[in-house]
Structure 1
Amino acid sequence: MLHAKNRTGLVFFPAFDWAISPTHPEREERLLYTQDQVFEEGLLDIDGIVELKPDLVTIKDIQRVHFCVPDPWKVSTESHFISAGGAKTIGMAVMDGTIDRGFALVRPPGHHANRVVHGARGFCNINIEAIMIEYLRRAYGVDRVAIIDTDCHHGDGTQDIYWHDPDTLFISIHQDGRTLYPGSGFINEFGGPNAAGTTVNIPLPPETCDDGMLYAVKNAVLPILDEFKPQLIINSAGQDNHYSDPITNMNISAQGYAQLTELLKADIAVLEGGYSIEGALPYVNAGIIMAMAGLDYSSLREPDYEPEYLRQPASLTRSIERTCDEVMTMWRRRTELRGPGKKAGQYDTRNRQIFYDTDNIFETQEETVRICDDCGGSLRIDSISNRRRILGVHIPRNACPACREQGLQWYEESSSSRFQHIFLQDRITDRFLEKK
């Protein structure tokens, strides 16, 4: 009988009652083929690989992360609560020591969901990884966390949520945003003034193959992880980098994904994208599971895998090398990135235009953060969509007294004559309030 080197937990949730449309790439068949493959290969018969059942997250779990407009039930469904609950279940099992590593194979996905949520973006309504992480921080006292997003699309929602958090390292490896939705994730996006350098983007050119992806992991991701020293590593395990994916332009194989997983040594993986339902997902997911469990995956192959057609040209290899060199230069200069004139007690403002492609909503945001040497800084978000205007005030979990006072002042001084909803996310007391 085979024995897993690492006790590995799996959660499956195909979400039979949620789909954008019956023929949309993001539908329940994404996971049904994977479940069949896992059963056919006998992975659950291996000693040390166990299946866990997902629970639901609570409204409180969601409101630690999001300002949902007008409330969580209006922007999500029960399936979203269970999908996030599947990630939370895996996180709790890892923290409790029931398993060493875990993989939440769940849908709907979440990494395009920002802190403010007016609707669905990129098939995402709520950010399931962030909800899990903030629950684990509250329940288990986890501090430093690293999120490695390997989805082909830039994880712009997760980046937004942790833009001002110096204790969360967010690294996204993705297809260059000039060629793919959401059109972001460039090297110069490196985090807010209180967390400069803890956002790291590694945009790769279309047609990057296994060698290019693994080069980026070995020469940029792993050195940064070693220096950051996280207590917990999360892999947003999108699988749309696969060579057969219908909506992207990359050439990663199941073997490449398995090697990536082995290198990252993530404590928790959470499924994100991946839309080659028959040709990729069953093989990629099997590879990720085997690598997490410490099993030999060398014989894993897709039926149509022909490596000679997936080699990247030398010019593309040089481009990836230059990108990684630039990323590492930015990382080494991160203490300089706050910029001139940014002093504690002052404020920094960011203005953004956000389009919800799934729900056809336009949002304009003005975000103000208090500059602080001691914490992530309290945050004020004035958000206007073509439906509502809201004010969200976020006081971070490690807020210093001055930043907490500023957050409470923003909330108390706000007027319901200007905003339909006024929210306070006070992470110190774990309260979510709405001014009536």
Structure 2
Amino acid sequence: MRNPKKLKAKNKVGLIFFPAFDWEISPTHPERKERLLYTRDQVFEEGLLDIEGILEFNPEIASAKEISRANICVPDVDSVASEPHKISAGGAIKAADLVLEGKVDKAFALVRPPGHHAHRVVHGARGFCNINNEAIMVESIRNKYPNKKIAFVDTDAHHADGTQEIFYHDPNVLHISLHQDGRTLFPGSGFVNELGGPTAYAKTLNIPLPPGCSDQGLLYVINEFVLPVLNDFQPDLIINAAGQDNHYSDPLTNMNISAKGYAKMNDLLDPDLAVLQGGYSIESALPYINVGLILAMAGLDYSSVEEPDYDPEILKEDQSLIKEIKETVAELKKIWKNRENKNLEEIYGDYSTFYSRDKSIFYDTAGINEKQSEKVRVCNQCQGYLIIDSKAGKSSFSSNQVMAVSIPKLVCDQCYQEAREKFDNLKNEYESVYLQDLKADEYLRN
């Protein structure tokens, strides 16, 4: 890189580092305390913080209320989230505040632990995630700016199932996930037919990519599908959930993306915010990917970013994979183009007042199985509210049942009254009932 002191960023970028050097799942686990050590060193070695316009900020600690806007923690926030989890979420909130307050043009939260596998109801750790830092960030934004339309583009190799489920019925959040095909990787979801609920049809879009996909396939999807969809949706904010385990050296996945490919992707997306998620090639990938992302967000040349073992010949795209990717994109284009003309009863069945669905959620990290029934109030005035019946435990004999009512910020008066009455009624029927009331910013457990 040229002398960083002579460079000036085109976009003012805020970096929020929280490497959590004192927290890990275990010393040999992929999500261990050294995970961001080499990234931190590389950022200093390249002199990125000496470039005019790239600034570092400290994270804050997310409060129980801020966490509860996205996650219903069972039995409570402190039982689910350690202080590092709260700081990781607080780092994401800090990134959003810096952009929304005009202190920077863009911000990148380089934080751990990650969060995108944490669903709305949380009984423990799954996919290395306890609470959903990016969802917590979005609900913090919308607590202050409730009318903002937000688009996620999650580029982690693992499907962003938690974030998807939190916003599955929300018409003001577009959630796009590009990931390794769920038939070959945890969490085994993220297929083209997962399109959001009847109140938010086609606001959830999944692009499952075949194992072996490299830069060519990834950038084809961005150019041919993601960018046109973003242009149609016209979000107020674009968030890159910047998972980095699509890299060719990652030990947990089977993808072939390079650091330069990541940087080019971010450059094309032009996100307002980025939040680190997965990525477990600690020395060979993360330092180079993160340098590339920072340079791309700053509007600076990233063409010299290259891993020591990078070999474009080895990473050439197999044409059979390109054919498969093009077929997936063509199917998704059809869905998006026809989204306004769909007969939703053909997709969701004969729903009238409520739409229901059942889910099985496995907490691979905590060893918990959850059976969940979710009902959304279908309303022509708002997105309705949720009633959740969750039973979870390490065995069927130790299952713990909780009921929850979740009310969105932009709810109509009739649905709001119904939801509060439902909460009061459930309290008389069940021992453990939670209220997540984003309209009143109130979070209760009986």
Fold shared by both chains (TM-score > 0.5): yes
**Contact 1:344-1:373 at 8 Å conserved across structures:** no
Out of 409, 414, 420, the residue aligned to residue 426 of structure 2 is: 414
Counterpart of 2:436 in structure 1 is 425
Give the aligned residue type for 2:54.
I
**Contact 1:101-1:266 at 8 Å conserved across structures:** yes
CA distance in 1, matches of 2:108, 2:142: 19
In the alignment, does 2:129 pair up with 1:124? yes
In the alignment, does 2:411 pair up with 1:371? no
CA distance in 1, matches of 2:359, 2:442: 27
**Contact 1:12-1:53 at 8 Å conserved across structures:** yes
Question: Residue 333 of structure 1: CA displacement?
Answer: 2.3
With 335-344 and 16-25 compared, the bigger mean Cα shift is at: 335-344
In the alignment, does 2:56 pair up with 1:44? no
With 422-431 and 203-212 compared, the bigger mean Cα shift is at: 422-431
In the alignment, does 2:234 pair up with 1:234? no
Counterpart of 1:339 in structure 2 is 345
Secondary structure of the residue that 2:134 maps to in structure 1? helix
Give the aligned residue type for 1:353.
S
Counterpart of 2:295 in structure 1 is 290
Q: Deviations over 1:370-405 (max 9, x none)?
A: 111221111100001124211110111111122212
Superposition pairs of residues 231-270 of structure 1, within 5 angstroms: 231-270=236-275
Counterpart of 1:203 in structure 2 is 208
**Contact 2:15-2:107 at 8 Å conserved across structures:** yes
Secondary structure of the residue that 2:36 maps to in structure 1? helix
In the alignment, does 2:327 pair up with 1:315? no
Question: Residue 250 of structure 1: CA displacement?
Answer: 0.3
Counterpart of 1:362 in structure 2 is 369
Give the aligned residue type for 1:214.
L
**Contact 1:13-1:86 at 8 Å conserved across structures:** yes
Question: Residue 343 of structure 1: CA displacement?
Answer: 7.7
With 397-406 and 361-370 compared, the bigger mean Cα shift is at: 397-406
Which residues of structure 2 form unaligned runs of 5+?
A: 1-5, 394-398
Q: Deviations over 1:112-144 (max 9, x none)?
A: 000000000100000001101111111244520
Secondary structure of the residue that 1:262 maps to in structure 2? helix
With 151-160 and 423-432 compared, the bigger mean Cα shift is at: 423-432
Counterpart of 1:401 in structure 2 is 413
Counterpart of 2:396 in structure 1 is none
CA distance in 1, matches of 2:205, 2:132: 19
Q: Cα 1:358–1:337, aligned 2, differ >3 Å: closer, same or farther?
A: farther
**Contact 1:380-1:392 at 8 Å conserved across structures:** yes
Q: Deviations over 1:197-249 (max 9, x none)?
A: 10000000000010000000111111110000000011100000000000100
Give the aligned residue type for 1:198.
K
Question: Residue 252 of structure 1: CA displacement?
Answer: 0.3
In the alignment, does 2:392 pair up with 1:380? no
Counterpart of 1:96 in structure 2 is 101
Q: Deviations over 1:408-436 (max 9, x none)?
A: 121111145533x211111111111222x
CA distance in 1, matches of 2:134, 2:343: 27
Counterpart of 2:88 in structure 1 is 83
CA distance in 1, matches of 2:83, 2:132: 14
Counterpart of 1:71 in structure 2 is 76
Counterpart of 2:159 in structure 1 is 154
Give the aligned residue type for 1:85.
G
Out of 22, 28, 31, the residue aligned to residue 36 of structure 2 is: 31
**Contact 2:70-2:135 at 8 Å conserved across structures:** yes
- How many aligned positions are there? 434
Secondary structure of the residue that 1:259 maps to in structure 2? helix
- 4+ residue segments displaced more than 4 Å: 340-345
In the alignment, does 2:330 pair up with 1:325? yes
Q: Deviations over 1:327-381 (max 9, x none)?
A: 1111122231622486885111110111100000011101111111221111100
Counterpart of 1:163 in structure 2 is 168
Secondary structure of the residue that 1:218 maps to in structure 2? helix
**Contact 1:343-1:371 at 8 Å conserved across structures:** no
The CA RMSD over aligned residues, in Å, is 1.3
Give the aligned residue type for 1:109.
P
Counterpart of 2:192 in structure 1 is 187
Give the aligned residue type for 1:223.
P
Q: TM-score, normalised by structure 2?
A: 0.95
Which residues of structure 1 form unaligned runs of 5+?
A: none
